[in-house]
Amino acid sequence: MSPERFARINEMLDNRQPDLTVLLDQVHKTNNIAAVLRSADAVGVHQLHAVWPESAMRVSGNTASGSQQWVKTLRHQTVTDAITALKADGMQVVVTNFSPNAKDFREIDYTKPTAIVLGHEKNGVSDEAVRLADAEVIIPMVGMVQSLNVSVAGALVLFEAERQRRATGMYGNRKLPEDYCQKLLFEQGHPIYAKACRRKGLVYPAIDETGQIIAPPDWWQKMREADPDSPRPERGRQRRM
């Protein structure tokens, strides 16, 4: 791993906000999902939650520009399950919703543990999400349209959360568990070795303060050995004289 990449990954880990997240409530267009994921990564969201209509829904690397490698997506069967889990983690749940009860999105205190709920492209957030939410927010608009694309709305709310948190010094202090950071540093800093570990069933080694692998001699020996399931090369047949 180069010193530059090691420093970049560590900077990202130092700024992750495990108590700030997004819940996608039936958002189903892959370009919108990918755009929200990119915005979430940009402001330091550690993981994203989603209630998806199709079990096969996923984000491709082409649309998310690699953000899916850094922000884990947790899928829930229902919005009730998702919000119940988020509240159990101490999160306030804020839904974007066009209603008389909605506040200006800038009036919410995002320095608190917060989950931002974004709704379906056509129908918005579900009635159940609104019922379970702690607050509803709206983005004030003075044009003829009444709503923004879901990914644009999500970006505005996320960057307001980032602004508030940065102003109170919530960035730059690592909050993630060390074992998670070690795992990510190894997988993203030494991807070839990480792939070999998974293939051979080896435990990930530690990463030192310079980004290099710390492993005993037997680990390196097993790394050099051929994979147990790899086919052996055929021996050449003897020619008859």
Known binding-site positions: 96, 139, 148
Listed residue (150, 135, 115, 155) closest to 18, CA to CA: 115
3-class secondary-structure state, position 35: helix
| Distance (Å, whole) CA 127 – CA 130 | 5
In degrees, to the nearest 5, what angle opens at C-alpha 173 toward C-alphas 170 and 177? 115
Rg (CA), the chain: 23
Helix (H) or strand (E) holding 52: none
Positions at the binding site for S-adenosyl-L-methionine: 96, 139, 148
CA dihedral (43, 48, 52, 55) positive or negative:
positive
Contact criterion met (CB below 8 Å) for 98 and 146: yes
Helix H or strand E encompassing 210 = none
DSSP designation for 55: T
